[in-house]
Amino acid sequence: MLKCAALRGRIRRAATLQIVLVLALLCLQPSEAQVPSNAPGPISFYDHDPDAGKIGGIVEFIKASSEADITGYKVYWGSSPTTKLLPLVDITATGNAPQYDIPLGTTVPVVGGNAATYFLVFSFNGNGEMGTGPSLQFHDRHVPYQGPAGVAFSDADYKHGDVQGTITISRASSESDVTDYVLYWGSSASSYLLYITSLPVATYPLVHPIPAGTSLPLGATHLLAYTMNADGMNEVNVASTSVRDRGLPEHAARSVEFVDSDLGKGEISGLVSIFYAADESLISHYLVYYAQAEQGPTGPLLGSTAATGNNVTVLIPADTAPIPGYSYLYVRSKNSDGVMSQGIGTEIVDRYVPTAVAQSVSFLDEDLLADQLAGTIEITPAVDETDITRYAIYFADLYQQPLSFIAEVSSGFDLPNYTLAAATPLPTGAEYLLVLSGSDDGFMTTGTTAALVDRAVPLNVPSQIQFVDTDMDSAELGGTLTVVRANDESDITAYTAYFGTSAVAVASSIHSLVGEILVSSLPSTSAYAAFAISMHTPAPGGVTHFLAFSKNNLGESQTGVSVEIIDKTINFPTVAVSSAGFHDTDLDMGQIGGSLTWVPPASTAGLTSYTAFLALDSTGTGRQQVCSPVPIGSLSCAIAAGTSLGPGANTFTHVIIYTNNGYGEGPGLALLIVDRALPVAVVTSVAFADMDPDVGSLGGQVTWTPPLHNPTSAVHFTEYTAYLSDGPSGFKGTFLGDAVYGSNAITTPFGHAQSNFTHVLVYTKNSVGEALLAAHTEIVDRYLPQEFVENLGFWDQDLAENEIGGDVSWTEPADTSTIALYRVRMDCPGGVLLTLGDAPVGSTTFSVPFNSPLDNCTAFVVTAVNDVGEAIVNATVAIEDKTVESCPSETSHRFASKRWRIVADTDVTTAWRLRGVRFFGDALCSVRLPAVPSDWPRRPRLAVGEPFSLPPEPRHLHELFGAGEDRYAGGAVWMNDSAVASAEKPWWSSGAPCLKASAVNASTGSEPACAVGFRWESDTAVSTRGRAYGSAGNVVASAKKVHCVELEQSDVTGEYAGEVSLQWYDEQRKVYRHLLRRRATGGIVRLAYQAVLAAECNAR
């Protein structure tokens, strides 16, 4: 079936009426060739976009009653129910209700001045759209364009959680689309929480009251104001204000306490303790007032403290006088809204102690044992006991400060006293008795004292008692009773000896007195007191022991020492050992160990054993057994290593071997002890000067300071030894040598491999061996320099024949750590090296004086040198004897620049201070380059320069370059751009240190820490009176060739550079480049380009 559209085209081309009629009939065939015949139902739409001229929402309509011939629906913007403006959307027919969601913010179209106000919907298919369809006039909803200008509210209700006051709304600048203002409680500045009210736009004034007691809604933090009309509320342009819920504190502190710590009468001091309130959420501070009663009224404010969630305090300063009539403290809670009316109080109690002391205290010790006291402490009370209720008694130390409490006694008695019980221990350090006056509030800190005297019989007893009966008659005694003195005799004045009836040396065992010897009668070097028992002295009946006690003016020691009385007869051994020997193998001073040997008697019949003892002398005084009894047949015993010989005067000097039988001990053989020990002395200040010129090889002299003392005892040393070691306390490595006592140096030959050795050790030594400890010094491998200078050069500036003069120059090696100086020589005929002189490390030139004879020498030789010697390698440069014929046609350089500067190349630790910089155009420093206008300031013309500095510091910078210097003997100062005569030229200062670490490498473009320079360009015009009056309109640049510069530095250490350089600015490379550099000191420094060459050539 042909389509009507195609048929219409054919109709236009038909040649005959018949054809037209046929084709027209064909077009009037069945409906499938036509546009839809069913229109959709009614349209609905609600605008959700609040802005004028924009809409958003769902357009929906009822589908056609039959969609059999419908492909979809076309939705149009329209200006009337039938007039289309623009297509909106095509919706496919699906059998479901058609709809389209217009995005929020969709602009309503305007065509030809007509705005769309309708939606039009038409059914369509492939043949076209239906000619009729439903329409809907839509409403463009828009809320007010502007919001309120503001909203204000202040809470006048001082109860927390309640608000009261007036909300004031500032109107929108335009109310043309506003019908109402709406108020809300808000949870933030933009989120509403709870509706309050709405106010018609006609309301005047635009306010709303909040009545007293209004509860602030939970979560409300702001008040929000909106504009509204019939289309809704403008929620974008909201006015808001934060709600500050004003409220006084509602909780007082739980309690308050004050204890006066100033114990002066009529004065208070201490901490007022405030126990924090149960709820501090509304409290920022606590205020403390003086008050007349516990609940007020309050008086002056004492102080305040912040609430912290913990207990807090307020300090009442020392010596504070209470305010009459105000005997309480009162605490109130406070915050930024005010002070709580109620509070809590406490009474002020002025605590004080007495000011009067006891008149005296006395005590007599009745306990005669050391470190124990007994007796009555008697106190003479204070003259005035008005404020005294009690006295406290203390043991006190050397400084009369309380050490330990004894007792407390009440006042009011004529003679207060306290009795110390027998055997009361004397506290360590107690030197005094101290009595302090006290009241109910406390005690004084000073009082009355009495020296404490511990009256006691001796505490120290004799060390030992010995007796050997030399009377061989039965029941008779004879010999010497030896009592070894106590180690501490500070409480002893004498020793007493008794016959005793028991081995227990106490008073009840005493039978009869043998004798008494005063300590003062004994030689200070004697270790014992000797009591003579006459031969044939009969032993008293019942006596079994000798007893000995210490004694002083109060009596004898409570205990003593005893020795059994053995009545020797002819039945005791009468033979002794012989040829005893002992070699000490314990190498510690004051200790022995080793094997003790002897030869038996010619006959050992009846003998049962040998015993060995250490003794203070050859007679056996103070002896101490060192070996268990040795059976007959054995001839040695082992003395254990570490056996002590004892201290001081009680040092054992002999070992004695005794023979024994069933009756007892026979005669002994005494052997002098030789205590063999290693040295203990250590040398100091060890030094090692390595003179071996090779790397990793050592040799030279080890030196030290000998010990201050060389004991004459067993630790005496006789020589020194030295070793290489891998550490200050490492193992002994290579042996370097030894030296006898009296010397302090060892010279060791070259060639010792350093290997992993780091230190030299020096020991003292004797016949027993080397000391266990050594002194040490770190090894520094000193060797010849391994480096040589580079770029060695010489330009002869003396133009006479066979004469030379000028600078030998070089570049230092990268590593100069082993170099001390550079030695400069000339290589002369016959292999002779003529030394000209030395230059210290850091130097790069050596000046050869003019008129120096050449003497057919051919080259300069420069060698690195240190204190070990000269390097094996060196640098040479041939000598070319320059003459007049050698002079160049031009001695100047070719570098012209409008910017030149002087740079501090070394550290200036305080500040760089300069007083003059002068540039010259020639090497002889005679042609001055003006750094101010020529003949300035007599006539107006362009200035020819401007100074600059690093760091930028304009003060006295113009004067530095000589403003007016030609006319004023004292120089000039620059005032209002004019030169004014000055009595003394001022100093320019960098104002800060110039650190080498931040200084320059001009070739890299980095900036120095300190520099001063001149720029020969300016646009400044100067008046006839020498005053700058403006710009000449253009910058005039003048490139200069600086050949000489004079610099005047401060001569104060820390204010001048030790090396300076002259630099020019390369405009092409955009960097500063070096022309000259030289070492400098304080004062005037001159840097000149080939000045000598210029002078020589120009003179000839």
Closest CA to 274 of 260, 293, 255: 255
For the stretch 378-408, pLDDT in tens is 999 999 988 999 999 999 999 999 999 999 9
Position 946 pLDDT exceeds 90: no
Give the pLDDT score at 923: 84
Say what the pLDDT of residue 621 is: 86
Residue 943's pLDDT is 53
Q: How much is the mean pLDDT over the chain?
A: 87
CB environment 691-717: b (16+ within 10 A), e (fewer): bbbeeeebbbebbbebbeebeeebbbb
pLDDT classification of 979: cutoffs 50, 70, 90: very low
- The pLDDT assigned to 722 comes to 94
**Tens-place pLDDT, residues 452-506:** 998 889 989 998 999 988 888 888 899 999 999 998 999 999 999 999 999 999 9
Q: pLDDT value at position 973?
A: 43
Stretch 102-108: mean pLDDT: 92
Residue 974 — pLDDT band, cuts 50, 70, 90?
A: very low
The C-alpha atoms of residue 396 and residue 392 are separated, in whole angstroms, by: 12
Return the higher-pLDDT residue of 212 and 961: 212
Q: State the pTM of this model.
A: 0.37
- Across 1043-1055, average pLDDT: 93
Spatial distance between the Cα atoms of 854 and 274, rounded to a whole number of angstroms:
100
Q: 864 exposed, middle or buried (CB, 10 Å; 0-12, 13-18, 19+)? A: buried
Structure confidence by residue, pLDDT tens digits, 140-153: 888 898 999 999 99
Task: Please state, in angstroms and rounded to a whole number, the distance separating the CA atoms of residues 483 and 478.
Answer: 16
What's the gap between Cα 842 and its chain centre? 37
C-alpha–C-alpha distance, residues 256 and 347, integer Å: 10
How confident is the model over 998-1012, as a mean pLDDT?
Answer: 67
Higher per-residue confidence, 977 vs 801: 801
- As given in the structure block, the two tokens for residue 681 are 């002395």
Strand partners, 676: none
Angle at the Cα of 904 from the Cα atoms of 903 and 910, rounded to 5 degrees:
140
Per-residue pLDDT tens digits for 674-730: 888 889 899 999 999 888 888 888 999 999 999 998 888 888 899 999 999 999 887
- Reported confidence tier of residue 22, pLDDT bands at 50, 70, 90: very low
Give 997's pLDDT tier (boundaries 50, 70, 90): low
> 941 pLDDT band (50/70/90 cuts)?
very low
Q: Rounded to an integer, what distance in angstroms lies between the CA atom of residue 220 and that of residue 680?
A: 88
C-alpha distances (whole Å) from 581 to each of 67, 274, 668 are 141, 86, 14
The pLDDT score that the predictor gives to residue 940 is: 41
Identify the weakest region by mean pLDDT among 23-37, 451-465, 523-537. Answer: 23-37
Q: Which residues contact 392 (CB under 8 A, 6 or more apart)?
A: 405, 407, 408, 435, 436, 438, 443
Listed residue (241, 197, 195) closest to 221, CA to CA = 241
Full DSSP string of 783-807: -------EEEEE-----STTEEEEE
At residue 28 the predicted structure's pLDDT band, cuts being 50, 70 and 90, is: very low
* Contacts of 557 by beta carbon, 8 Å cutoff, 6+ apart: 457, 458, 459, 460, 461, 549, 550, 551
Residue type for position 545: H
Per-residue pLDDT at 1036 exceeds 70: no
Sequence-separated (6 or more) residues with CB below 8 Å from residue 121:
40, 43, 61, 73, 74, 75, 76, 133, 134, 135
Between 116-130, 272-286, 398-412, 998-1012, the lowest mean confidence (pLDDT) is in 998-1012
Measured at the CA of 785, the angle between CA 782 and CA 791, to 5 degrees, comes to 160
* N-term to C-term CA, the chain: 126
Does residue 940 or residue 492 have the better pLDDT? 492
Overall average pLDDT of the 1006-1021 stretch:
81
Whether pLDDT at 746 is above 90: yes
Contact 533, 478 (CB under 8 A): yes
Mean pLDDT for the stretch of residues 122-133: 94
pLDDT at 968: 43
For the segment 218-230, the average pLDDT, to the nearest whole number, is 94
Is residue 850 within 8 A of residue 764, CB to CB? The reply is: no
349-377 pLDDT tens trace: 989 899 999 999 999 998 888 889 999 99
For a pLDDT cut of 90, what percent of the chain falls above it?
58
pLDDT score of 1016: 83
User: pLDDT tens digits, residue range 752-767?
Assistant: 998 899 999 999 999 8
At residue 998, the pLDDT reads: 52
Q: Is the pLDDT of residue 939 over 70?
A: no
Residue 314 has pLDDT above 80, yes or no: yes
181, 148 contact by CB (below 8 A): yes
**Per-residue pLDDT tens digits for 867-907:** 888 888 899 999 988 887 767 667 788 889 999 999 999 99
